[in-house]
Structure 1
Amino acid sequence: MAQSPQPLLVELFTEELPPKALDRLGRAFAEGIHAGLRGRGLVAGGNTVTPFASPRRLAVRLSAVLAKAPDAPFTEKLMPASVGLTADGQATPALLKKLAAKGLADVDVAALARESDGKNEQLVYRGVAPGAALAAGLQAALDEAIGGLPIPKVMSYQLADGVTTVRFVRPAHGLVALHGEQVVEVSALGLAAGRVVHGHRFQSAGPIELPSADAYETLLAGGGRVIASFAERRANIERQLREQAARLNASLGDEADVAPLLDEVCALVEYPTVYVGEFEQAFLAVPQECLILTMRLNQKYFPLFDAAGALTNRFLIVSNMALADPHNIIEGNQRVVRPRLADARFFFETDKKTPLAARVPQLATIVYHNKLGSQLERVERVRALARWVAERIAADPALADRAALLAKADLVTGMVGEFPELQGIMGAYYAAADGEAPEVVEAIRGQYRIRIERPVGAGDAPAAALFLAERAETLVGIWGIGLAPTGDKDPYGLRRAALGLISGFEQLAAGGRLAGGGLSLDSLLERAAALFPAAPPGVPGEVRAFVFERYRNQLAGQYERAAVDAVIAVAPPLEQVPARVAAVVAFSALPEAASLAAANKRIGNLLKKVEGEIGAVDAARLSEPAEKTLADTVRRLRPLADERFGQGDFAGALAVLSEARDPVDGFFADVMVMADDPAVRANRLALLAELHGAMNRVADLSRLAAS
């Protein structure tokens, strides 16, 4: 009789789990149990997996699990018949030993099947393996799931017997395993499974005995006062936050900042309730970034902002207690946050008493890297590079130099000492308070941004000079001491610095500040390398290749990889890369593209075999009609393509060259390039080299050819 699948619930009840890892742990636990049961044939069709994770539990419910896996036929290859059987068909000692080892000693040798593997006739046993029972399968799956959890830090603790020590992320105090209404006899971490779950630490009605796996969420949320699902609890918190904010005509601010805090708070509460707190208006005189960071980082509060994006003196508290009168909770949180805000105000007012410029000498006491000197030495390198960049992008070198001088001075302020996340931000506030030029203030504020977001205008140019200088100094300096990124490790943020250079060149070009050709990636990296006399000579080239590789990865998500590779292969000016890629994409859509790309690849292969220099085309040596036609075509099209290329019309240049398809095809159909006469051969190679150079100015078109 066929068995009916039943829902299965497994819960591990623990002490408070690490908040930042909770969601990941919950999903891994659920996936591990599911994978273990599915691999043993215990999961029925139509099954759904529901993970649960709260501060004190990891759990999963599978909707369709079998009490016993179906029996499964299997085939066991034993050995060649010539080895296993005697001439009269009796079992050899080798076969008998093999059968015994596999638990098949009672098998009738005559019943063994014979199959050919293409070389020998093999003896094969066909049988039926009984399906795994749920208790055994779940025990194995539970052990595997616990062993495979991405635990950030394992702790050891002793069980109640005073002897046994187990290792887990936090001490575990309860295990539930219910299949339908029946307890599955499994164990983990010294705990035997039962049906009792535990609710909220303070507001639960007491231990809850589950009648069935399906009753888990309902009973926990009711008498237990726990929303077990991480996703449901997070959605509940977000709904309450947005409702409260709307009621106060406020917002939660930048969504990119809200989401991670929401995840963390969700991992701290089991039955969330949102309350409104406030602090004195006077604290709003402190830079709002300080107050926001204090509330979010230290207190896990959600600051509220007005319609203009300015911080208000109200904030939202996500409490783990749902009370009819939350006065004490609100007042307690307000009382706790005031000293922290007062500290921020104290640091701000105290820091302003010392000008940023007066703090610069203190940077000599901060080691940047033991092989690269102090922060002050780094500042001097960045200053020199920022002045040099400024001169080439029509920026004021004095403003760029001043910004570079002051850029790191806030590292020795009290506020940044307390909140390192405010580097640059506080420097900008202190620079403004010191009366520094607005361009200097903005340069300091923008130095840590990931990229430059808009075309660089006159007011932005000093900031762009500092931005590029710092990233070039970082890339060359760190790379030069052998600390290039490896795998996913990039402790000095070199990948981010490379992306910053890319955006910087893009936005300088958009602002018309590279028109004179005074600044290029190569010249910037060479200039930076000159600031590090001990750097190996190949560092600028290696960093350049690294930057282009970052660009390739960035563009590969927007364009065909072949088009991106074709452009990166010629390493053009960094700011021209997007336009060239777009041009290659447009060229690829032309009917002539495939033929020309294939010809380009063929020409490239021919030219690689040439020894020595390739000379100029001698028109007098052109004898075949097809080569004369190609030479005339190149002579006609190249100036047109060069003109469009010089204007930055890369698509137009490639479109002009596409007219060469028929002459190129005719040339390869009718002309023997590698002629016996060395002079004729050299002249034909020269013609192809001229065509190759014209075709590959925008990109290496051979990269578009089918492999």
Structure 2
Amino acid sequence: MTKNLLVELLVEELPPKSLKQLGSSFAELLTASLKAQDLVSKDAQVTAYASPRRLAVHITHVAAQAADQAVAQKLMPATVGLDAQGQATPPLLKKLASLGADASVVPQLKRVMEGKTETLFWDSTVKGTPLTDGLQKALEEAIGKLPIPKVMTYQLADGWSSVNFVRPVHALIALHGADIVPVSILGLQAGRETQGHRFEAKVNPIVLHNADSYAQQLATEGAVIAGFAERRAEIVRQLNVAATKENLTPVDDDALLDEVTALVEHPNVLVGKFAAEFLQVPQECLILTMKANQKYFPLLDAQGKLANKFLLVSNIRPTDSGLVIGGNERVLRSRLADAKFFFDQDRKKTLASRVPGLDKVVYHNKLGTQGQRMHYVRAIAKAIAQQLGGVELTSQANEAATLSKTDLLTDMVGEFPELQGIMGRYYAQHEGLSDDIAFAIEDHYKPRFSGDALPRNSVGICLALADKLETLINMFSIGEIPTGDKDPFALRRHALGVIRILIEKDLKLNLNDLIYNAIFQINKVSFLVSPNSNSKTKFSDHAAGKESGLELRTFIYERLAGNLREQGYTAQEVDAVLSLNPQQLGDIPKRLAAVRAFAALPEAVSLAAANKRVGNILKKTEGSISDTVDTGLLQEPAEQALYQTLTDILPGTEKTFAAGDYTASLQILAALKSPVDTFFDHVMVNVEDESLRNNRLALLKQLHQIMNQIADLSKLAS
């Protein structure tokens, strides 16, 4: 017979940013250990609870003792365990004794041939694990494996012993149905008492009736919503109700919502206000200080503009909430006053006047200052702009790049680093600079994360590409290459940023040229700016620059391959396209669509296999193969037919390829199936006659080139 199980750790306030993961991990680890011991049925329902002061889990269908199990125990070779008369030897008796048996079981032993050796086995029954032992083991394993960000050491009540956990634990509950499971952990014995809300509980301590009454008793007696998801949903409901009454919308921020859910047990959403004069400060600054410092939810109007009202989530529900609101408003007023002061002070200096100060800010101890970095980015941005737009765009890219890092020296960005770029845009607009320059200063960090918007204009595109390429190239040059889950300089994100800009903006830029031209610009600038500096990249050596450029290109293609698979393309489709190392990444979506359409053709399987066969033949050929076919040496009807088909379809494939209609170009290849199949059925390529052999290889080379313009179709072969 099974009953439901509840386990709770009552702790001091847990780290809010870790609570959600700690709660789910505690439930998963405890359940997994109990299942491994056959104490929990496969269809058991698991409910995790996590609040600022508790981690708990409720598991249905938990047995008081696991079922007994029949076990075939391997003992030893029969020649070792039995003497000539078939009697047990001392080693066998010793082994049986260690298993709780004696000589009486010898007649029951089985003899099984394992290879050439006859081995003794004993079929026995192992008693199932009692819940007390199983839960004790599960608790120890779960606590030992919890993803605790920082372990805390604290003394137990005896004043001598100490234990380690994320926060001090004050009580342990373990209930199997209505019965206490006598386990202990962290110096605590299991009981049935817990604590409710610190200020609003009707009863403290709360004595649980059984495992199933946990959430209900905490809610009614303890004023606590124990479930993280339920508490989060209640906060969302209250936020929406309060915002609707004001005809406003709360800022959507899942991370903030999770953090606030981890700070309260009995949420109460209240509306606060601040002086409208603070709305003169850029709303990004106000929103950030409200969210980051105070954990408030800013409110926006229908146009997305910040209102001078906010929502706060209180953990108490006083009769008069005025004092709570007033206290929060006073704290926020000080925060906003600081932001306004920073904004006013920063605007007293121009961005251009801050440029020399970049030489005093270290970028990386092996790469120099932000001033040097600005020169690298500027040179790369100008080179890209020259390709994309000529003189005017180059001039704009030069100005934007020069000013792009200056907001790092402002008080506002010093206080809120997350606003870098954004504040640069505001200050540029305040100075009367064009929107092309101002938006480029903000947008050169984009995309900052997955799904983020791309730069809004051509200047921003040039600057964003330059900034990301500079970071990638210089970090690769000093060996700062991501390994495993370690990527301290977010190089994977920078690579994906380059990929997204090139593809989504469909830029006619060659990836190889982009990388090597950027390396050239960095190499040139490093000597012009600081010829005697030790903080140079390794690109002063041409071979090293070429090697690192190739390494970076490989890194970018690997990120691209992973990103395309995440978008739903198959590994075969991605491999077929990327194995050709297409240099204009904007073409890749069209190539992938063409490959997918080709793979759906009835002729695709046969042609892919034939293409793989042709590739293998050409790889094994020593020496060069001619680019032209001598029609006079085409003796067999099958090779004549294949050559004629190639001649017929070539104009169509070239025209559609040049027009970028890759799908149509690949579809034309369907006409090759019959002549290719006939060729391999009736023509021997590696014949004795060298001239015939070379001519047939030349024919296959033409076939291979026509088939693999858009993708390596052999990758589609199974």
Range of TM-score over shorter length: over 0.9
Shift of 1:197: 0.6
Matched with 1:39 is 36
Contact 2:88 2:103 in 1 (8 A): no
Shift of 1:106: 5.3
Matched with 1:23 is 20
Q: Does residue 637 of the first structure (1) align with residue 637 of the second (2)? A: no
* TM-score normalised by the chain length of structure 1: 0.95
Contact 1:344 1:415 in 2 (8 A): yes
* Aligned-partner SS, 2:488: coil
- Distance between the aligned counterparts of 2:492 and 2:577, measured in 1? 20
Shift of 1:154: 0.6
Contact 2:380 2:522 in 1 (8 A): no
Shift of 1:540: 1.6
Shift of 1:371: 1.8
* Change in 2 beyond 3 A, CA 1:380/1:109: same
CA RMSD, aligned part only? 1.6
Matched with 2:318 is 323
Matched with 2:205 is 207
Q: Does residue 180 of the first structure (1) align with residue 170 of the second (2)? A: no
* Aligned-partner SS, 1:484: coil
- Distance between the aligned counterparts of 2:138 and 2:504, measured in 1? 54
* Aligned-partner SS, 2:319: coil
* Change in 2 beyond 3 A, CA 1:454/1:334: closer
Q: Does residue 693 of the first structure (1) align with residue 705 of the second (2)? A: yes
Contact 1:454 1:507 in 2 (8 A): no
Map 1:251-266; keep pairs closer than 5 Å. 251-253=249-251, 255=252, 258-266=253-261
Map 1:455-534; keep pairs closer than 5 Å. 460-509=457-506, 514=508, 519-533=509-523, 534=538
Q: Does residue 553 of the first structure (1) align with residue 562 of the second (2)? A: yes
Residue from 549, 571, 580 that aligns with 2:581: 571
- Distance between the aligned counterparts of 1:283 and 1:126, measured in 2? 81
- Distance between the aligned counterparts of 1:110 and 1:560, measured in 2? 60
Contact 1:157 1:166 in 2 (8 A): yes
Shift of 1:115: 2.8
- Distance between the aligned counterparts of 1:275 and 1:454, measured in 2? 33
Map 1:667-686; keep pairs closer than 5 Å. 667-686=679-698
Shift of 1:382: 0.9
- Distance between the aligned counterparts of 1:390 and 1:611, measured in 2? 45
Map 1:117-516; keep pairs closer than 5 Å. 117-204=114-201, 205-253=203-251, 255=252, 258-394=253-389, 396-450=393-447, 460-509=457-506, 514=508
Amino acid at match of 1:645: F
Q: Does residue 580 of the first structure (1) align with residue 591 of the second (2)? A: yes
Residue from 8, 11, 25 that aligns with 1:11: 8
CA deviations over 1:184-203 (Å, ceiling 9, x no partner): 11111001111111111122
- Distance between the aligned counterparts of 1:10 and 1:647, measured in 2? 67
Shift of 1:174: 0.7
Shift of 1:48: 1.2
Shift of 1:667: 0.8
Shift of 1:418: 0.1
Q: Does residue 664 of the first structure (1) align with residue 676 of the second (2)? A: yes
- Distance between the aligned counterparts of 1:455 and 1:180, measured in 2? 56
- Distance between the aligned counterparts of 1:455 and 1:361, measured in 2? 29
* Change in 2 beyond 3 A, CA 1:454/1:286: closer
Shift of 1:122: 2.3
Matched with 2:610 is 599
CA deviations over 1:151-204 (Å, ceiling 9, x no partner): 111111111111111111111111111111111111110011111111111222
Amino acid at match of 2:52: P
Matched with 2:48 is 51
* Aligned-partner SS, 1:595: helix
Contact 1:303 1:311 in 2 (8 A): yes
Matched with 2:528 is none
Deviates more, 1:281-290 or 1:617-626: 617-626
Amino acid at match of 1:73: A
* Change in 2 beyond 3 A, CA 1:234/1:337: same
Amino acid at match of 2:245: R
CA deviations over 1:443-501 (Å, ceiling 9, x no partner): 01111121798898xx8111111111111111111111111111121111211111111
Matched with 2:531 is none
Shift of 1:541: 1.7
- Distance between the aligned counterparts of 1:191 and 1:281, measured in 2? 54
Amino acid at match of 1:625: P
Shift of 1:602: 0.7
Amino acid at match of 1:155: M
What is the count of residue pairs matched by the alignment?
691
Shift of 1:107: 3.9
* Aligned-partner SS, 2:250: coil
- Distance between the aligned counterparts of 2:683 and 2:453, measured in 1? 53
* Aligned-partner SS, 2:521: coil
- Distance between the aligned counterparts of 1:344 and 1:94, measured in 2? 82
Gaps spanning 5+ residues in structure 1: where? Answer: none
- Distance between the aligned counterparts of 1:503 and 1:69, measured in 2? 55
Identity %: 51
- Distance between the aligned counterparts of 2:577 and 2:261, measured in 1? 46
Contact 1:113 1:125 in 2 (8 A): yes
- Distance between the aligned counterparts of 2:101 and 2:15, measured in 1? 50
* Aligned-partner SS, 1:108: helix
Matched with 2:552 is 543
CA deviations over 1:596-624 (Å, ceiling 9, x no partner): 11111111111111222111211111111
- Distance between the aligned counterparts of 2:602 and 2:504, measured in 1? 34
CA deviations over 1:611-669 (Å, ceiling 9, x no partner): 22111211111111111111111122122211110110111111112211111111111
Q: Does residue 612 of the first structure (1) align with residue 623 of the second (2)? A: yes
* Change in 2 beyond 3 A, CA 1:493/1:455: closer
Shift of 1:36: 1.9
* TM-score normalised by the chain length of structure 2: 0.94
- Distance between the aligned counterparts of 2:683 and 2:67, measured in 1? 71
* Change in 2 beyond 3 A, CA 1:455/1:351: closer
Shift of 1:44: 3.8
* Change in 2 beyond 3 A, CA 1:46/1:552: closer
* Change in 2 beyond 3 A, CA 1:630/1:44: closer
Contact 2:183 2:190 in 1 (8 A): yes
Contact 2:196 2:206 in 1 (8 A): yes
Shift of 1:87: 2.1
